[in-house]
Structure 1
C-alpha cells in the first residue's frame, strides 16, 4: 500500500470514529434529534439558486442533523437528460448537511412522457441509481452512512431503498412514486412495478423487524407518492359470488399498505409515515391517522404527515425528537427568511424539556404510554367502512390523540383555516410559514 493510500485510509477511519463519537455524545447528553424534509424544490433551472440558499440556511442550523429530499429533484416538463441529472446531483451533493435523496414521480416514472423526452423510464431509473446511489454514503459534504437494499443479493439493483438510525429512531426511505406507484394499465406484465413491489415489501418489513429488535423508540418511513389511504383492502365473506369486476383501477399502493399494517404491528411503537401530496395544504402539511387494516379498523400506532409546501424552493419541514420528550416528535414549517432573521437576532432558544411549555410553535405528535397492539376485529367481515367510523374498540386506549384536539403548529392566513382545527378556531400570527 502506498503512503497516500495509508494516509487516505487513516483519514477515513479517523472521520468515522469522530462521527461516531459525536453521535454517541449527543445520545448520552440527551440532545434532541432534528432533521429537515424538503420536496419538489427543483422543477426548472431557475429554481437552482433559491434551493442553494435554502440548503445553505439549513446547513447553518446546528440543530439539523440531516436533510431528506423527498422526491422530485426535476420538474415534470424538464427532459430526463443526463445533463439535468448531473447538474442536480452536483447541487445536492454540495449541501453542507448530509442529504438523503429519495426518488419521486418526475425523477424517473414520468420520463416516458413526450414532454420529458420520451425516454424509457426503467433505463432512466438505472442511470439515476448509478449516478446518485453509487456507494453506501448519502449526498452532502459530510455524508451519512446508509444501509442499502442492494446489499441483499436478491435485490442488487434497488440502491435507492435505504435505512439508517439516529438517536434511537429508525428511518426507512422507499422508492414509491405517484401516481399509483407507476402501475401501468396497458396489457402485458408490469415487470418494473412487480419487482419493485416485492423489494419494497421485503425492505419495509425487514427494517421494521430490525428496528424492533434494536429497541428503537420510533420508526419513520418516508416516500414520495401519496398512498391514497382512503382505499384499503377489506375481506368480504361472499366476495367469490361476485361475477362482475369493479371499474376502479388497480391500487398500485395495495402491497405497500399491507406492509405498513404488518410493520406497525411488528414494531408496536410509534410509526410516522411522511409523504408528498398534491392536495393543497395551507400550512404546508397535514397530520392524521388514515391507515386501516383489512378489517376496516384504524391502525392506531401509525401517523401520517402529508407535505405540500406553498413555496418548496424556500420552505422545509423541521422535525425535532427527544428521547425524554412526551410527546416525542414536534413539527413546524421553516423558511429561508425566518432562518436568516434568526441568525441576525441571535440563536434560537433550545427545545423545551419535558416539563416546560414549548418555546417554538411545534406541532406535537403524542407517544403511546405502552406498546401499541393491533385492534381486534369487532365488526362483521362484510361490513363496509363508513367515512366517519370511530376509532376501533380495543383493550388499549388510542395511542395518538386525534389532530382536532392538538394545537396547530402554524396559523393559517387571514382567509384560511388552521391545520387540524375546525373553521371557527382562533387564528394567530404566521411566523414560520413565510410569505
Structure 2
C-alpha cells in the first residue's frame, strides 16, 4: 500500500541496508556462460496502491526464476499520482530487491507528466534531474544486489543511456518517452507550447539515444554478432489509436535510425517497449507497413520485430526473453510469465 512511504526511519534504513547493491557479489547467473540464458523485461509498474503493495512480491517471483538480469522500460508510477521525493527512494529500494542486475530507463510518468496538478505541479526538468540523482548515482553500474557494468553516455549527461553485450547479442537501453518525448506542452504550469528548455533537452537526449543505438549496432557489426535488442519506454507504433503528428513527431529521427541501422545489419533486430500497456508483437518497419508513410521515412527494416510488454492495469505478467544457443532458428524467444498473485 501507499503507506509503505511512511515507514519508520529505522525500518527504512534496515530495508536500504538489506537491499543495497553488493559491489563484490558475483556476476548475474548465466550471463557469461556458454549456451542459452534468459532475462526479464517489465514496465509501467507499479501503478497505484495495490501494485505498489504487490511489487516486492512480484520481484521475488522474478528472482525465483533467476534471470540473468531485468530491464525496466520505464513508468514507475501512473500518470495521475504525485511525483514527490520519497516515492523515488521507495522504488529504488524495490529495484535493489532484485537479486541480479536491474537496468532501468525513465518513463514519462516519473518526470514529463509531473507538471500536472495531481502530480504536484513540478517542473519536469527538475524531476528528471532528481530521477537521475536517485537511480543513476553510480553511472556505468546497474541497480540490483549483484550490479553489472554497463557502457553509459555519462560524459554527455545521459547516464541512463547504456549498452551492454552478452553472448553475441548487443543491447541498448535508451531514454525515449511518451508525451512526444516531452515536446507536449506543460499545461499544468501554464504553458501552451513546448518551452525552449524543453526543446533543447529533448534534442540533446534524442541525439544521445540515437548515438547509443548506433553504438550497439557498431559493436554487433564489428563482432559479427547475431542480434541487437533496443529497449525504451515510448510506444512509437501504438496500434491502439491513430496518433496526430504532434503526438509522435519527435520520434522520427530514431525511427529513421532504426531503419538505416537494421538494413545495414545481417542479424535480427528486436525493439522492446512499454507505454501502451498491452502485449503486442509486430514488425512496424517492415516493407508495406503504414508506419513508414506516417513517419515519412525512407526504406524499411524487414529484420526488425518488436514486443510491447504488459503494464498498468494489464500488468499480470513479466516478459521472459531467452537468448537461444548459437545456430537456433531465432536468436531470441519470448514468453509471458504470469504472476501467481
2:318 to 316, 319, 328: 316
Based on CA coordinates, which of the two structures has the bigger radius of gyration? 1
2:269 to 268, 271, 278: 271
Structure 1: distance between partners of 2:85 and 2:77: 12
Structure 1: distance between partners of 2:48 and 2:312: 16
Contact 1:54 1:313 in 2 (8 A): no
Asked if 1:288 corresponds to 2:291, the answer is no
Q: 1:92 Cα shift?
A: 1.2
Q: Secondary structure at the match of 2:328?
A: coil
Asked if 1:162 corresponds to 2:162, the answer is yes
Q: 1:262 Cα shift?
A: 2.2
Q: CA 1:122–1:295 in 2, change beyond 3 Å: closer, same or farther?
A: closer
Q: Structure 1: state its 5+ residue gaps.
A: 1-10, 231-246, 338-433
Contact 1:41 1:312 in 2 (8 A): no
Q: 1:193 Cα shift?
A: 1.2
Contact 1:43 1:78 in 2 (8 A): no
1:228 counterpart residue number: 237
Contact 1:170 1:211 in 2 (8 A): yes
Q: 1:20 Cα shift?
A: 9.1
Cα shift readout 1:28-67 (whole Å, capped 9, x = no counterpart): xx2x1201111112123432331111111111113x1111
Contact 2:310 2:317 in 1 (8 A): no
Structure 2: distance between partners of 1:68 and 1:128: 17
1:298 to 297, 300, 315: 300
Q: Secondary structure at the match of 1:264?
A: helix
Contact 1:33 1:167 in 2 (8 A): no
Q: CA 1:23–1:117 in 2, change beyond 3 Å: closer, same or farther?
A: closer
Matches within 5 A, 1:166-205: 166-184=166-184, 186=193, 188-189=195-196, 190-205=199-214
Q: 1:304 Cα shift?
A: 1.5
1:258 counterpart residue number: 256
Contact 2:283 2:305 in 1 (8 A): yes
Matches within 5 A, 1:103-122: 103-122=106-125
Asked if 1:36 corresponds to 2:40, the answer is yes
Structure 2: distance between partners of 1:111 and 1:276: 19
Could you list the structure 1 runs, at least 4 aligned residues long, displaced by more than 3 angstroms after superposition. Answer: 18-24, 292-298, 309-314
Structure 2: distance between partners of 1:195 and 1:38: 26
Structure 2: distance between partners of 1:109 and 1:266: 34
Q: CA 1:325–1:187 in 2, change beyond 3 Å: closer, same or farther?
A: closer
Cα shift readout 1:63-111 (whole Å, capped 9, x = no counterpart): x111111111122122111111111111111211321111111011111
Q: CA 1:80–1:327 in 2, change beyond 3 Å: closer, same or farther?
A: same
Q: 1:188 Cα shift?
A: 4.8
Contact 1:35 1:66 in 2 (8 A): yes
Matches within 5 A, 1:348-359: none
1:146 counterpart residue number: 150
Q: TM-score, normalised by structure 1?
A: 0.63
Contact 2:40 2:319 in 1 (8 A): yes
Cα shift readout 1:141-198 (whole Å, capped 9, x = no counterpart): 1112111111xx3x1x111111111121111101111121111351653121111122
